[in-house]
Structure formats: C-alpha cells, structure tokens
A and B are shown apart, each in its own frame.
Chain A
Amino acid sequence: MFFLFHMSGLYAQSTSPRIANYDIRVSLDPEEKLLDGDMVLTWKNASPDTIYELQFHMYLNAFKNTESTFWKDSGGQLRGASVNTSDPKVWGWVDISKMEILDGPDLTANMRFIHPDDDNDKDQSVMAVALNEPVYPGETLKLHIRFQSKLPRIFARTGYSGDFYLVAQWFPKIGVYEPAGMRYAEEGQWNCHQFHGNSEFYANFGVYQVDITIPSEFTVGATGMLQNKTDHEDGTKTLSYLAEDVVDFAWTASPVYMVHEDQWKDIQIRVYLQPEHFQLAGRHAHAVKAALDYFDRHLGPYPYPIISVIDPPIHAMGAGGMEYPMFITAGSIWGLPDEVRATEMVTIHEFGHNYFMGILATNEFEEAWMDEGMNSYFEARIMDHTYGEKTSFVGARAFHFGDVEYQRQSYVASGNPKVAESYRNAWEYPHGGYGTMSYNKPSTMLSTLERLVGLETMDEIMMTYFNRWKFKHPCTNDFIDIVNEVVTAHHGATFGDNMNWFFDALLYGSDVCDYQVRSIQNRKLDPPQGIHEVSGNKMTYKEIEYETTLYRSRVILDRLGEVIMPVEVLITFDNGDEVQEMWWNDQRTTEFRYERPEKIVSVQIDPKNKILVDINFQNNGKTVDPDHRGLWRLALKFLFLLQNALMDISLFT
C-alpha cells in the first residue's frame, strides 16, 4: 500500500497545475563535486489514464561517458566549449540509490534505463520505473528518492569550474505525462525524451522547496525566494528556498560573488557578478528592467517575485547564456565596451525565456522554435526598442547593427538557409541547423508577420497566446490558431481565409523567399505615323505638334524563391511621382507597364522592409542612376588601410 492524498489544501492558491512538486534536501561536497540529495516528489496524475510506470529525466548522465546520446550528438562540446576528457574529474552523473513510495514499497529494483529516441542502449538519461500499484486518475503519489549527483566540469550549462558552481538539471526529474488531446498526443503517453546534444527541456509545473547545505564561505543564488538560513557549527550553512509554479530549479554558488541588488516595481533583481565584472552590474540591471517593462506592456506581467542573474567567470562560460525559472545565466567580459551589447543581449534573451520556457513551458525537445524562436523575436524587439534599431547589438560609429538585423543576417547568411524546416525535433536538425532554424529563422519569420499584420495586431496575437496558454504547455497548432483568430478579427480576408499559408511556407517548409527586380525599361514612344483628322482636316502626324513626349515604361519582377508573399512594389518616376503596386500570386514573374510623360527612375520591392525573410535585399530594388558614393568611401578606406599596412612594414626595413 502506498500513501495517497489529494493535493488541494496543502499549498496556497496556485497559478499553475502543480503536478510535480519537489521537496529536496541537498548538500554539496566541494572537494568531490558531489551532491548528496534526499527528496520527496509529490506527483499528481492529472490525466484520465491509469499510470503503471513513471519516467524520469536523469540529465546529468549525459556527462557520464562518451557513450551517451548527448556526447555522440555533440562530440563533447556545446557552443564551442569542451573539456579535457583525459581528466577523470570532468565527468558527471546522477545515481538513485533508493526510490520508494513514501511509507510504501521500495521501487529501487524496478528502475531501468530506456532510450525512447534512438537505439543507444548505453544512454542513461531516461529512467523508467514500474509501479507495483498503478496511480489512478486524480490520485497523488509521494515518492521518496535518495540520490547522489556528481557535477561535471562545466562545458554544457551545468557543473563546476574551480570553485564556481552552476547546478542545473541536477536531480532526477519526472517527465511529463501527456494524456490524449494534450498537444499532439492521440493517446496517453509519457513525453520524456533523452538528453540530446541540441535539445533542452520540458517539465510540469510544481512547487520546489529546496534546502541547500554548503560551506559558509559560498554565496548562493537560486530559483525562488530565500526563506531561511541556518548556520552550522561545522562551517556549513543551510539555505531554504521556495519556488512556486515553476518547471525547474537551479542554483549557483561561488565564494567570490559580488551581488548587485535592484528593483523593478515589486520585483527584486539580484545580479551575482564576478569581481572583475562588477563594473558591468548596471548594464545587467538595466537590461533586466528594460525586459521586465517591455514584456509587461507587450506580452504579460512577470508573475514571480524575483529574478536572479548569474555572471559566470570566463573559465565557466559554458554555463552562461541559459535560463531557469527566476534564475538566468548571462555572460560578460572584463573591459567590454559600452557599444558592444553582448551582455545586454544575452541578459534580455535569457530573461525572456522565463516567459516562453518558464510560463508557457512549451516542449523544447519537440518544438524548440516556440521557445528559442519566439524568445529571439522578443529579444530583438526589446533590444532595438531600448538601444536603437541599427545600433542595439553593436553601436560603434563606424560599425553598427541592430538585433532584428542580426537575427535576419544570421538566417540569410547562414551556410544554407534551406538546410531544414524550423519545425523539427531539436535533435534532428542537420549539422549546424539547430541555431539558425530554431532561433534566427523563426525570429525573422515572426518579425515579418509583425510587419505584415501590424504591430498592434501582433501584440494582440502574442498577448492572447500568453494569457490563454500560460502554465498550459501549448504547441505550435495552438499558436497558429490564435494567429488566425486575431488576424481575421483585425484584417478580415486581407491575408486570405487564414494565415496557414504563412506558416506552411516558413515554419513547416524549408524553402526560401527571394524576390527581385529584373529590369527597368523606358522607351520613348515615337509619334504616331499616318493621317489624322483634326477639325475635319486631314493632316499628317508630323504637322501636329505634340506638347509632351510619352514613354512606354516597363518593370519586370521575378520570384526566385519558392515562398510566396504579398509584396508591395513602389515605382518612382522622374518627376517624383510614386505608384504603389501589389504582387501576390503564384506566378514566377510579373510586370507593370505605364505610358506616361515620365520615365521610371527606380523600382523597389517591399519598400517598407516588411518581408524580412527575403534572403536577398540587394536585388529588391533597381535604379537607372545608381549612387555608388558609399562604395567609393568603402574602397578608399580599404586603400588607406593598405597604405598604412605598407608603412608599418617599412618600420622593419
């Protein structure tokens, strides 16, 4: 028999379905890099199905050896960081020494590793546990788990480096049971993927109560709010944290942190900085506040009381640029110029994940674009709004670019913008495709959508999506349904019956969009020949004076890519007149003709730069009188640099 009780009444009123709740006691042995953990998992079967087995993520086993799926996928590196595999201390793992139903049977012998995604039977990142007694719909299970985790040397988000610790994905974490009808499940099933080189995470909401025991000299930051601190005589201390309605719990420790505190409305901001980066505290705080403010106005309020920002040291940069509820890791470099806003960008980006990964909590394994792509879209909006459209990412006078621009260029200038569709399982992107197809292309796609339907409509789409689906694990179809609903309400049939064509092309398809102006032709019309009646008299055309010369002008446009978009075309004549045309059909080419006294001087496809997914802006416009002054300036700069290089050589001769 195992002890069951219903959860209502145990906790305060919740904003999420608190399905997976953790009460964890953990102590860190800094010498051995070991975590000794004891936890009670309270798991609710919120489905209509009877559950006969549980599945757990054992993420740290990805770093156990080179046989893991993570290692095989990634080659032992992540974002350029790697470790020396000949050093035995670099490896990490998580072991469950005991699992039992609280006051019930021991399930330890029922544990076995499974590999639902591939045939790698050596991968130990997913564990299944058969239950002696099933869990019926609505029932709650309390599991007592004793575990030990060995932290790896940091290269992929979690572990240690020197005396710096970033402790993430460190405990056995129950997977998500999706009943029929949830997301794409046609029948009830565990959604518990292996840890891949390119995947992130997916979990249920719950309450985390975590007690961390650690040597007293460490400063600790964590998900949630510190509730209590107890000092012990053996030189350690225990810190108790509480985090409600979250999908994860991460923490950090370092003896050298300098903490900068700030506030936005009633939300605490704590920035944990390396001493050599403390002068960048203001930049971190400013970026967080800009993000809090922008999200509050354009998506929804941040529901948590605190946000902690962690600044890893240079030797632990593999832990940087990552997100956990109420707890993000950014990254900075000593001496970073104010004009290079890498720190701001990563801070805003990781904070944004609290909305997409943390509150909407989409499945990052299967629909990475919904987290990374949407978040990158908002990151770009916030960066350009806060720091300038053409200067937000790098703002030097002679070299600058904005974040929306950067997102687009990262997509169009990637080695192969057709490498894959954005809608894919994270581990199935071909080499190099994960970043571009889950971050940059969806971000650019959403920026394009925004410019097509207008900012007001786009804001309504995003706010409706957020408010309707927060804490509910939406999927792509849920988002597209809202887009269709809101766009139709605002624009009727302007974009067709729905926007499915847009997502079919850009999310589910891998083709590219590319329109070009092929040519401008102006031909002076010869006066007509022959006889013409004027007031009853026959006259040759030569005898009639024509006041104006007419031109027959023609513009030829081509669609080089497979993606079809509604494109505006602006045609400018030599008297300054402008004519706006629209081209939206499946033809490969089109033309516009005019007969007027003026000649065409220029043609511009998409003059307002709405279609950011167009992979080549260079061919979007043509003029009869090109202005190459900018090119001259570039070439003269090149000349000057080369002359200086030659003079430098003469120093040695």
Chain B
Amino acid sequence: MNIFQAYLHGFKTTLHSKKMITCIYMLILILALLVSIPFLSSLKSAAGSATATEQLTSDFDFTVIQELFMYKDFSFPTHLKQAVWIMILFLFLSIFLSGGILSTLKDKAGSFKVGSFLGGSAQFFLRFLKLTFYLLLIHLLLALIIYLPFSIIVGGEMSATATEKWFFQLFMIFFGIHMVLAIFLIIVSDYSRFRIVREDTPKVLKSIWLSTRFVIGKFLQTYGLYLMLLVLPILLFYVMLIISKSFMATAGWMILLVFILQQLFIWLRMAFRIWTFSSQYEYFQYHSK
C-alpha cells in the first residue's frame, strides 16, 4: 500500500466516522462554551444598557472595547485563566479520547458505539498518558536544544550590532529546524499509539523506540503522508481567513451565519484529525510487522 492509497483509505474511513467526529466536536463545543458563556455574561453586565456598545454592531471600536474591559466588575484575566484550565482539562480528555478513536478505527467491522468508544478510551488512557508525558518531555528538550544556541547568539555580542532582519532570518532557520523535528515527533507519537492499540502492549517506551525506527526506516513515506494530510487543513484555514476578512457580520442572521461557518470549520478540523489517524493507521497496519 502506498501513501496515496493510505490517504484515500483514510478519507473513506472518515466519511463513515461522522457520528464519532460529531460527538467529539460536541464535547469541544461544550468545553469552550463553559468559558464563553460566562465571558458573554460579563460583557453584557459591563455594558448594561449603555449606548456605546451599539458602535460594536457595525465595526470594531477600540475605545468601546477598552472601556468595557476596564469596567470595574469585568475581569478579562479571570476569563483567560478559565480558558487555560479548560485547555489543561482538554489535554487529559484528548489523551483519553484518542484511545477511543483508535479502538474504533481498529474495529473496522463495527460502527461507532459510545460504549465501545469509552471502553477503548479507558483501556488505553494510562498508557497514552505516559506516552504523551514522554513525548512532551522530548518536545521540551528539543525546544531547549534548538533555541538555547539561538538565545546565546541573540543575547551575545551580535545583539549590539545585528539588525532585526538578521535576527528574524536566524530565528526562521531555527524555527524551521524545530518544525521539521516537531512534526517528526508528532508522527512518532501517532505511530506509537497505533502500536500500543494493535498489540495491546503495556510497553510504552518500547513502542516509542520501535515506532521511531519505523518512521525513520520509512521516513519519506511517513513524513510525506503526514504532510499530504496537512494540505487540506491549511487550505481550509486560508479559506476561513478570506471569508472572515471579506465582510463584517452586523445583522443578527449574519452573526448566526458566521457562527455556523466557524463551527463547520471546527467540525472539519476534527474530521481531518480522524482522517490523519486513519490514513496513518492503515499505512502502519500494512507496513509494520
């Protein structure tokens, strides 16, 4: 099986996974609403019945927004902190859910059932938690190894005479190296999960090691497949950017339309995540012994 076949296979699997995608999307929506609804309430409370907020209907207004945020009973940092806590919670939830996703993908014959999904999530949660912990450590180490020399160069004598253009170009080199290696680690992480699920093995470190060897051994294919899988999400992002820049939602129905488009974007992002998992898993199944 080549990577194009794996890519197409992943697409077909994704088409059959709409129920699972929708459930995970709903969870993400609920979590985000847990912070956004209080945020909206705070804004409305701060605005009260002020006429000033009418200016936000047709355009961004720096003065109105800043004065809203300065309102004594409105605390934007509090809402930001809540958002951070939700993100931390989701980190663990996402680890939990990935077990369910891969169990469902592994079980080709069955359709999505919440019970099986949650069972799979629970089955692999601790192992995936360990795996994520190890990989995040490696990510941190990688960042340190890459950016420490950069910060030494920037903070040294060069900073007395170098231009910001030079700094930016230097940063882009380091950043580029970081991105290449970070994507490599993400791929290793994915294949490690596949190995754990397929073999139902408790050996997390061994899975990482074997998956690293697998990815390096088939570097062009595994890396190429992943990059192929990034193309559509990036295109989608640009489409969303163009749409958001093309008009300002002023009327109620326009705001609703923008909301729907935004949620469709999130749903599609989740779909692309499943597509990535299933394409890579299919490739792994075929090429790994």
Contact = CB atoms under 8 A, between A and B. Distances in A.
A258 to B, nearest CB: 13
A649 interface: yes
Interface stretch (A204-212, A541-549, A629-637): A629-637
B135 interface: yes
B2 interface: no
Nearest to B76: A638
B143 interface: no
A618 B44 contact: no
A635 B40 contact: yes
Interface stretch (A138-146, A398-406, A496-504): A398-406
B170 to A, nearest CB: 13
A604 B33 CA distance: 34
B64 A646 contact: no
Nearest to A162: B161
A315 B55 CA distance: 41
Nearest to B166: A276
Contacts of A508: none
A409 interface: yes
Contact of B163 (A334, A397, A622): A334
Given A314-B163, A620-B52, A634-B56, A647 B273 contact: yes
A620 B47 CA distance: 12
Interface residues of B, number: 76
Interface string B129-141: 0001001100100
A576 interface: no
B53 A628 contact: yes
A633 B255 contact: yes
Contact of A649 (B65, B87, B259, B265): B87
Contact of A618 (B50, B136, B165, B249): B50
Given A652-B135, A653-B128, A653-B132, A645 B83 contact: yes
B151 interface: no
Contact of B64 (A163, A400, A617, A649): A617
B262 interface: yes
B5 interface: no
B68 A618 contact: yes
Given A334-B164, A645-B87, A400 B62 contact: yes
A334 B43 CA distance: 37
A646 B185 CA distance: 19
Contact of B91 (A627, A633, A649): A649
B66 to A, nearest CB: 6
Interface stretch (B11-19, B24-32, B200-208, B213-221): B24-32
Contact of B259 (A602, A628, A636): A636
B121 to A, nearest CB: 12
Given A276-B164, A315-B160, A639 B269 contact: no
Contact of B51 (A623, A631, A638): A623
B136 A652 contact: yes
Contact of A630 (B36, B54, B135): B54
B94 interface: yes
A400 B35 CA distance: 26
B60 A398 contact: yes
B165 A635 contact: no
B186 A313 contact: no
Centre residue among A314, A315, A631 by max chain B CB count within 10 A: A631
A622 B49 contact: yes
A220 interface: no
B57 A629 contact: yes
Nearest to B132: A653
Given A618-B68, A632-B255, A313 B57 contact: no
A313 B46 CA distance: 44
A315 B161 contact: yes
B50 A619 contact: yes
A616 B94 CA distance: 44
A631 B98 contact: no
Interface in A363-412: 390, 397-401, 405, 408-409, 412
B168 interface: yes
27 contacts: A276-B166, A399-B60, A400-B62, A405-B63, A413-B70, A604-B51, A617-B67, A618-B50, A618-B68, A621-B52, A623-B54, A628-B43, A629-B57, A629-B250, A629-B252, A629-B255, A630-B61, A635-B39, A638-B79, A639-B33, A639-B36, A645-B87, A646-B31, A646-B94, A650-B98, A653-B91, A653-B94
Given A314-B162, A619-B50, 6 more contacts: A618-B68, A624-B49, A626-B49, A633-B56, A642-B83, A647-B28
